[in-house]
């Protein structure tokens, strides 16, 4: 069995697709996958689509004709389509479990490479940040240089406890739009209004660089400002619905900060909202008032692992 964590973007979602840096962290919601031999040739389980996407990626890489019949089980604490990297976690878990089943030597770089191929099928044009984070875990600096080249660095520190304990994740609801659609929307915007997207990219890049020092130095005030500015920038490219941006304004008005942490959404829900307040109870009350579920979780947890 293998297990894989969820991820959030502290900053850099969407910008990462255009080669700008992102900071991501693995969060303590895990997905477990087991693969074992089964004699039923046509395993007509609920994972047919997934099998059809993942198997060719593996057989091509290993230069084998087919994978012997197997039974697949997936159990997950990661909500689907909520900005927590569920698709990257599924791809990573299934690929890693299948490679173990095929007796391939444990190699996280190989899993990451193949999970990126699966993400391309799921999303069209992923940056690779989601799969890198769920594979390698911790607190990551990620930058896509080209399709084949990415900078993936563990930051040499973790989020200080003083900050980490004040993050709350609020579930604003599954977006009506897929990540593929959201990424595509930004691409269309970059053709219609190139200046808007260029400004977004430059502003996010500066904030992402600054965020490294801010986390390292545990600078709470500036952390909240960066989350607010990063969120406003995301709003300029149309990835935050009015429903969620108005909730974020309320969080800001009571001295907190919040941002989407993945592809976002246009109509209502935008998936998980990453919220911060020096007193996280304040955020919880705002979520409760709206009957939205929320949770606090450990950040910077271990990536893909054998169980
Ligand atoms: C999705 O979790 C993050 C995006 O930046 C897409 C990507 O990086 O592949 C929206």
Tell me the per-residue pLDDT of 123-174, one tens digit each, with 9 for 90 and over: 999 999 999 999 999 999 999 999 899 999 999 999 999 999 999 999 999 9
**93 in contact with ligand 1, CB cutoff 6 A:** no
Q: Is 14 in the pocket of ligand 1 (CB under 6 A)?
A: yes
Q: Which domain holds residue 117?
A: 2-158
Number of domains in the chain: 2
Tell whether 98 is covered by a domain.
yes
Q: Residue range 95-119: average pLDDT? A: 98
pLDDT at 225 over 90: yes
Quick one: average pLDDT of 217-241?
Answer: 98
Nearest atom of ligand 1 to the alpha carbon of 15: 5
How much helix, strand and coil, in percent to the nearest 5, is found in the chain? Answer: 45, 20, 35
Beta carbons of 130 and 85 less than 8 angstroms apart: yes
Residues 148 and 171 in one domain: no
CATH for 214: 3.30.70.890
| Final residue in a domain of this structure, among 124, 158, 192 | 158
Residues 285 and 211 in one domain: yes
- Shared domain for 219 and 244, answered yes or no, is yes
CB 12 within 8 A of CB 142: yes
The CATH number of the domain holding residue 50 is: 3.30.230.10
- Do 57 and 187 belong together in one domain? no
Q: Where are the alpha helices (DSSP H) in the chain?
A: 48-62, 86-101, 108-123, 129-136, 161-164, 179-192, 194-216, 220-236, 242-253, 280-289
Check pLDDT > 70 for residue 13. Answer: yes
Which of 131, 158, 185 terminates a domain? The answer is 158
**pLDDT (0 to 100) of residue 42:** 53
Q: Is 81 in the pocket of ligand 1 (CB under 6 A)?
A: no
My answer on whether 152 and 173 are in the same domain is no
Mean pLDDT rounded to a whole number for the chain: 96
Residue 241 and residue 270 in contact, taking contact as beta carbons nearer than 8 Å? yes
Distance 9 CA to ligand 1 centre (A): 9
| Over residues 19-43, mean pLDDT | 90
CA–CA gap between residue 36 and residue 73 (Å, rounded): 9
Question: Do both 234 and 106 map to the same domain?
Answer: no
Cα 1 to Cα 306: distance, rounded to the nearest angstrom: 6
The Cα–Cα gap between 246 and 286 comes to 12
pTM of the model: 0.96
pLDDT value at 41 more than 70: no
User: Relative to the CA of 128, which ligand 1 atom is closest?
Assistant: 9
Which ligand 1 atom is at minimum distance from the Cα of 262?
2
Share of the chain above pLDDT 90, in %: 94
Ligand 1 atom 2, closest CA: 262
């Amino acid at each position: 069995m293998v297990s894989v964590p969820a991820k959030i973007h502290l900053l850099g979602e969407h910008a990462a697709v255009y080669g700008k840096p992102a900071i991501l962290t693995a969060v303590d919601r895990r997905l477990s996958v087991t693969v074992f031999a089964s004699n039923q040739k046509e395993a007509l389980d609920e994972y047919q689509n997934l099998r059809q996407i993942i198997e060719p990626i593996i057989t091509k890489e290993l230069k084998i004709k087919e994978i012997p019949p197997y039974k697949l089980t997936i159990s997950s604490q990661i909500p689907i389509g909520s900005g927590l990297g569920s698709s990257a976690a599924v791809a990573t878990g299934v690929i890693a479990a299948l490679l173990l089943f095929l007796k391939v030597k444990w190699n996280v770089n190989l899993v990451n490479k193949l999970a990126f191929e699966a993400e391309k099928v799921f999303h069209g044009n992923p940056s690779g940040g989601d799969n890198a984070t769920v594979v390698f875990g911790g607190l990551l600096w990620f930058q896509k240089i080209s399709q084949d080249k990415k900078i993936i660095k563990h930051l040499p520190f973790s989020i200080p406890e003083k900050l980490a304990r004040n993050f709350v994740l609020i579930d604003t609801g599954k977006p009506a739009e897929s990540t593929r659609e959201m990424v595509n929307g930004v691409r269309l915007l970059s053709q219609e209004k190139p200046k808007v997207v260029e400004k977004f990219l430059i502003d996010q890049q500066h904030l992402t660089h600054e965020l490294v020092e801010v986390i390292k130095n545990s600078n709470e005030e500036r952390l909240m400002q960066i989350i607010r500015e990063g969120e406003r920038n995301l709003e300029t490219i149309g990835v935050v619905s009015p429903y969620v941006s108005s909730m974020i304004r309320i969080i800001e008005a009571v001295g907190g900060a919040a941002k989407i942490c993945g592809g976002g959404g246009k109509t209502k829900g935008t998936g998980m909202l990453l919220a911060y307040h020096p007193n996280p109870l304040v955020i919880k009350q705002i979520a409760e008032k709206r009957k939205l579920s929320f949770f606090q979780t450990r950040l910077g947890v271990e990536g893909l692992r054998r169980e």
